[in-house]
Amino acid sequence: MIAEHPPASVPDFAALRHCWHPVAYTHAVKDTPHHTRLLGEDLVIWRDSGGTPHALRDLCIHRGTALSLGRVVGDRIMCPYHGWQYGSDGVCTHIPQLEDPTKVPGKARVDAFATQERYGHIWVALETPARYDLPDIPELDDPDWVVVQAGPYAWNADASRQLENFTDFGHFPWVHPGLLGDPERPVVPDYSVTIDDHILRYDIVRPEAPNSDDFPVFGNETTEAPTRRSRYQLHLPYTILLRLGWGGEKGMVYFFASQPVDEDHCAGYVTIARNYDREQPASVLQDFEDTIFNQDQVVVESQRPERVPFDLAAEMHMKFDAVAINYRKAMREQGLAKRPA
Ligand code: FES
Ligand code: CO
């Protein structure tokens, strides 16, 4: 007789609505409305006349047209179909077909969502209060650090799979040989993970690809086999802050955030800051990240189930998978992943 397994825990969208998620790079939203999706909701992101970004449900209350096809008029967004105008709070304030266009019925409104702009991203929380603050990244506000943005990398995968892939040490030499790892040195060194509320912390000194001269190697410039000294903070649900070469003169920060578009789509934003090689064109790092993310995409899109199964009985875990083990545990403990009812 075949044992019945209960369905695995999956990301809980109701809980995730209370978290901040990236929905666009700042530079991607200019004067015209911008469509995106978050946790299965279609959103329109737009800027008022002062440049402040706002997020509304991308669905006009009148006939269900996408507001993102409309345009911004002063501090309001106007639907393309009949010209109704909505303020940043989602309230319709202007119906041009009326004798008095300001005599708007009270139910003429669309949902408005909390929005903030920080670290070069626009962030949205679908429900307030949002549970966690964004991480502190003083380097991104420091003029001595040069910032490069790569992506967003839109994958046919859940954000949880993309997040785990970014910090999965075992795959580097296999998926990125010569770029992020050395196939001659596949052993993952010991490291340990601590869980501090919604933040996982871990440091690792791991083998790095040989000859990665245009990609700096920190820690032991004197030995033949390069290593990379990495200090991680994984902020639930989908954000990673990685500092390379911390404590030394040269520093590099990776800030990775994945947008949970819906159950099987995500978009990964990679922000890199460093306080050296300031003259290097941004395209060098962007091309490198494009290569890495393209190599990962094929593998991650093949993973089944599409969403990380958050119970430890699902899949097989080794000691060197400590990040994934603790990520799954913390997501369940924080109520961000649950068994479907
Ligand atoms: Fe938007 Fe009519 S559908 S104004
Ligand atoms: Co990878």
| pLDDT the model gives residue 104 | 97
Residue among 60, 76, 97 to mutate when testing ligand 1 (max atoms within 8 A of CB):
60
Residues 99 and 200 reside in one and the same domain? no
Residues 230 and 319 reside in one and the same domain? yes
- Which numbered ligand comes closest to the C-alpha of 175? 2
Looking at the structure of the chain, the number of domains it has is 2
Where does a domain end: 66, 90, 125?
Answer: 125
| pLDDT the model gives residue 229 | 82
| pLDDT the model gives residue 124 | 98
Where does a domain end: 74, 100, 125?
Answer: 125
Burial of 211 (0-12, 13-18, 19+ CB in 10 A): exposed
Instruction: Say which residues have a Cβ less than 8 Å from residue 142's Cβ, sequence separation at least 6.
Output: 275
| pLDDT the model gives residue 309 | 96
Residue nearest to atom 3 of ligand 1 (CA): 63
Is 24 domain-assigned?
yes
Q: For residue 257, what is the domain's CATH number?
A: 3.90.380.10
pLDDT in tens, the chain (341 residues): 555 667 899 999 999 999 999 999 999 999 999 999 999 999 999 999 999 999 999 999 999 999 999 999 999 999 999 999 999 999 999 999 999 999 999 999 999 999 999 999 999 999 999 999 999 999 999 999 999 999 999 999 999 999 999 999 999 999 999 888 888 889 999 999 999 999 999 999 877 776 554 344 454 454 556 677 889 999 999 999 999 876 678 899 999 999 999 999 999 999 999 999 999 999 999 999 999 999 999 999 999 999 999 999 999 999 999 999 999 999 999 999 999 88
Residues 97 and 36 reside in one and the same domain? yes
| pLDDT the model gives residue 119 | 98
Burial of 99 (0-12, 13-18, 19+ CB in 10 A): exposed
What's the order of all strands across the beta sheet hosting 92-94? 71-73, 76-78, 85-86, 92-94
Instruction: Compute the distance from residue 291 Cα to the ligand 2 centre, in Å.
Output: 10
The atom number, within ligand 1, closest to the CA of 63 reads 3
> Do residues 256 and 213 touch, judged by C-beta distance below 8 A?
no
Instruction: Compute the distance from residue 36 Cα to the ligand 1 centre, in Å.
Output: 19
| pLDDT the model gives residue 71 | 98
Residues 72 and 216 reside in one and the same domain? no
Specify whether the backbone of 180 is left (phi greater than 0), alpha (psi in -120 to 50) or beta.
Answer: alpha
Cis preceding linkage at 143, omega within 30:
no
Is 11 domain-assigned?
no
| pLDDT the model gives residue 182 | 84
| pLDDT the model gives residue 211 | 52
Q: Which residues line ligand 1 (CB under 6 A)?
A: 60, 62-63, 65, 79, 81-82, 84
Instruction: Compute the distance from residue 128 Cα to the ligand 1 centre, in Å.
Output: 28
Residues 116 and 158 reside in one and the same domain? no
Instruction: Compute the distance from residue 179 Cα to the ligand 2 centre, in Å.
Output: 10
Q: Residue 50, CB half-sphere, CA atoms under 13 Å: how many?
A: 4
| pLDDT the model gives residue 216 | 46
| pLDDT the model gives residue 180 | 86
| pLDDT the model gives residue 224 | 55
The atom number, within ligand 1, closest to the CA of 60 reads 1
| pLDDT the model gives residue 215 | 40
The atom number, within ligand 1, closest to the CA of 64 reads 3
| pLDDT the model gives residue 208 | 72
What does each C-alpha distance from 237 to 137, 142, 233, 327, 330 come to in angstroms?
A: 17, 26, 12, 9, 9
| pLDDT the model gives residue 2 | 59
> Do residues 39 and 16 touch, judged by C-beta distance below 8 A?
yes
Burial of 222 (0-12, 13-18, 19+ CB in 10 A): exposed
Where does a domain end: 125, 160, 189?
Answer: 125
Residues 75 and 40 reside in one and the same domain? yes
CA proximity to 53, closest of 30, 70, 35: 30
Residues 157 and 305 reside in one and the same domain? yes
d(CA 68, CA 41): 13
Note down the domain range covering 84.
Answer: 20-125
Residues 151 and 117 reside in one and the same domain? no
The atom number, within ligand 1, closest to the CA of 70 reads 1
> Do residues 241 and 224 touch, judged by C-beta distance below 8 A?
no
